Amino acid sequence: MLRLPSVPILWRNWSQKISKRNKYFAILVFAVVVAAVALAEGLMADAAAQETADKVVQSIVQGQSGAVLLGNIYNIDIPSRSVSISWLVVGCGEFQSSNASTSGFIYAPNCSRLNGTVDFYVDGSSDPTVTSDSALYPFDQRTGQSLFVQSVHAFESTGRLVLYAWKGLDQEFAYPFDGYQMETTFIARDSDTGQTLPILGARIVSSTNNMNFFLRYDRATVQYNTTSGETSSSRTMELALGRNGFTKAFVVTLFIVNWALTAVCAYITISATVGDNLSESIVVLPLSVILTIPALRALWIDAPAFGLLLGMPVLLIICHGCSRTCLPDACGTFLQMVIVSFCSLFLIIVIGMQKQKEADKAMLQAEEGRKNQQKQADQVTRTPSEKGDLAVRDLPTLQRAV
């Protein structure tokens, strides 16, 4: 019976045939593939944690009649503190269109496009922000059902992020751990009767700009018109926004890489201080790191402008009791650039002085060599009379020796 070699024997035979360099390269490739898969799975898991629009509508409606607003954030402008949202209008119960096709829309029981003509007022507007008219829905001539066109069934609004001080500073100074919040309120009225329609819920179902969203509250509220004394039912929602986990991990990783480069430059400088001989080419490393640090910072996702926390001393930042405060520039790019710049200047001076010492030493050696050559030349060129006089002077010494 033929016996096959075991797996450990095959592995040992194969590993002995390849070089150590190829082994390390294969291990590196495997580690990179594992890291890429882990990052991709992490992003997918983060996205899968959010509820789908269908589940959101089902959790809100629960057999009630009214309108549901589903928001898709398509732009977040942090410097101007504005959020652009596209709101999809859903009608449920007696407010849904009976002949609407569900293709491309929300798959929820007793919910479809909003029926009738409804005016929506956003954030206390006195005039309708948008009017939803079911008569504008396109119909399929073959089936007689209305088709879904997002621009017809949705409207856009621009909300403002709440402005508040974060430890006496702007919220953006805490990047990538900065957080924001936004509130918005809606009123829905029947265009024909002027009666308010119930809004069962207003929820965000997707976001962009590498931001995660968290619903703080979604409540039924009322608004009072002080002029007419009229009370209108409304819906108010508060949303929290923050950087997703991938953004935080990416920024912190590049932050650590920049400090690693700075540490290498500092180690080389210390080696030069204790007297280790360094070549001139070593100066290229700190100079290249000076250019690399701001280049890596520019790769940060939605990176704010340079200058975060630069106006505050590092000691004051530490006294605030939050190490995350120091991440971007005050304890990062600013100190790194200063340290690497001083290291570069020091290495240039040390190598320049080292070269000067070597030049002086070479000059002294050349001078000594010249003197030795001169002595040898003087001995060779002595005249015969000088040699005879030397022999006469040495004669008594020779006689005493005999």
pLDDT of residue 137: 77
Contact (Cβ atoms closer than 8 angstroms) between residue 347 and residue 300:
no
How confident is the model at residue 402, as a pLDDT?
47
Query: Region 312-331: what's the mean pLDDT?
Result: 46
- Cα distances (angstroms) measured from residue 386 to each of 253, 359, 371, 374, 378: 83, 40, 22, 18, 12
| pLDDT score of 363 | 74
Predicted structure pTM score: 0.71
Q: Please enumerate in sequence order all residues whose Cβ is within 8 A of that of 299, keeping only pairs 6 or more positions apart, or say none.
A: 254
Alpha-carbon distance of 320 to 169, in angstroms, equals 11
**Which of 33-42, 89-98, 110-119, 160-169 has the weakest average pLDDT?**
160-169
Phi-psi region of 81 (alpha: psi -120 to 50; beta: other; left: phi over 0): left
Pick the closest to residue 172 from 81, 299, 294, 300 (CA basis). 81
Per-residue CA distances from 255 to 165, 245, 250, 317 (Å): 25, 15, 9, 18
What 3-state class would DSSP assign to 204? Answer: strand
CA angle 242-293-274, nearest 5°?
A: 130
Average pLDDT (328-353) is: 80
Higher pLDDT, 286 or 355: 286
